[in-house]
Structure 1
Amino acid sequence: MNYTIANIRVSLPDACTGAHFTRALQPFRTAEPGPADLTLEIVSRLPDMPGYRELYRFDFTDADADCRFGRDEAGYLLEIAPRDGSAPARFRTAYGSAETASDFTAQHNPALLRFGLWTLYNIAAVGRGAVAFHSSVIRFRDRGVLFLGESGTGKSTHTRLWREHIPGAELLNDDSPIISAGDGIPQVWGSPWSGKTPCYRNEHLPIAAIVRLSQAPHNRIRRLRPIEAIGALLPSAPPAFCRDEQLQDNVCTLLSQVIESVPVYHLECLPDADAARLSCQTVFGE
């Protein structure tokens, strides 16, 4: 059974059938192949990892689980352990390889498979000039505008205001689109990861601008200098990657390529229509 998932090919054994796996993989069926490929094999047991070193430990609140991300002599491992005491799901990939493996089963929460695929995808893609980026993206005049910010800042609210008050504005993705910089033309891609908003568009667009949001009692926007732009973008890359030198170097290389031709802004704003109009006028000049 094969699924085409964004730029990911996932191969599952015949035993992995039924509503459980369909529910886990359904969002991925509508996205278009892009800058990287990944093949996932479901196995009964992952091999031991000699010399394993944990890099990062964090919460996965969507599935009430704890995550551990680390590496050994051969590759990376993500372990997601549900807090109810059930068996963890583990996801393994070798350095420089697009072939990955997991011991995910039908007893696991489907959210674990989606998040595991997100992590494996980013490891495979970032060395090839692409990465999933935490943001909400508007499509307008056949270009994409990415809105960044900490959780709760109002990314989804701001893109909703675009859709309500700027004719022709549409949502491309509301949580984790893919950005790439191949051929010197930064692009944003729809992806199977769209958070709580089910928006899985089979599209990719040149990036018109990237805007970092912060809440304020006024609406004010300014363009960031390159060193400020890197600082504004890095927090939206996969957080675990900052603990690994090679992954972080790849992220920084990609972001440097993006800001060479894409303007990055900081928008201090209220959650109102004027904020959406201000950002639109700044990016598109009207």
Structure 2
Amino acid sequence: MKVKIAVIGGTGVYDPSMLTNMRKEKVVTPYGDVELKIGSYGGKPVAFMNRHGEGHAIPPHLVNYRANIDALKRIGVKNILATAAVGSLNPDMQPGHLIFVDQFLDFTKSRQYTFYDGGAAGVVHTDMTNPYCSKLRELLSRAAQGFGYVSHPAGVYVCCEGPRFETAAEIRMYRLLGGDLVGMTGVPEAQLAREAEMCYATIAIATNYAAGISPARLTHAEVLDMMGRISEKIRKLLMQTIAWIEPGQPCECHPAQKDKELDGR
């Protein structure tokens, strides 16, 4: 049976304990080998990927995003639920709140952004008008409301290169541009998932306020502390959403490349 659902665990989400009958599997891709954990929940096979590797050893700018998404594609995944610890730029999105982002602003600099580098792969211009799956976001919102969690159905995620935190001036700029949250891993992960015609949604967890908004200096320790406090909520949210996902259901995310072209415009 192919694995149709995957969870990508970000900072603080390392333990796929909700899954049973777990096994490790190495997937070979043209971009590198990827280690996955595959188990089941509610009779559904589910893959778990630790975005930052064992012991949080891979910084955000060095994550092999192409290998990760390609590996999930190769085992049959159609639906990805990704978690992300973020700083809040929006006073309404307070630490501890969950946000199911609907848009992103990309300020990364040195990553591999596409599977289509020309040559045999061709050149493809993928539509990213709505970069996150509306159906998965709706399921996440419904699950959060059912549990009584404070959540937001939409938000603009600003992705920065990292691994440093942002300056106060950068945060002021991102707010002027309409950003609500700031993180370091959302791009090109969402973009590659759309190229691979997979449904993708991010569960953003506001762990603190961003630089210049927070009254204190930013530390990775406070991010981990908040993620530890909210980890049970995330686990329940993932479990309920997985239970509701219908892997064979058609979605506008899937035919993303139906209008492929082999040269630029």
| TM-score normalized by the length of structure 1 | 0.28
The structure with the largest strand share of the pair is 1
Q: Which has the larger radius of gyration?
A: 1
Bigger RCO (CA 8 Å, 6+ sep): 2
| TM-score normalized by the length of structure 2 | 0.30
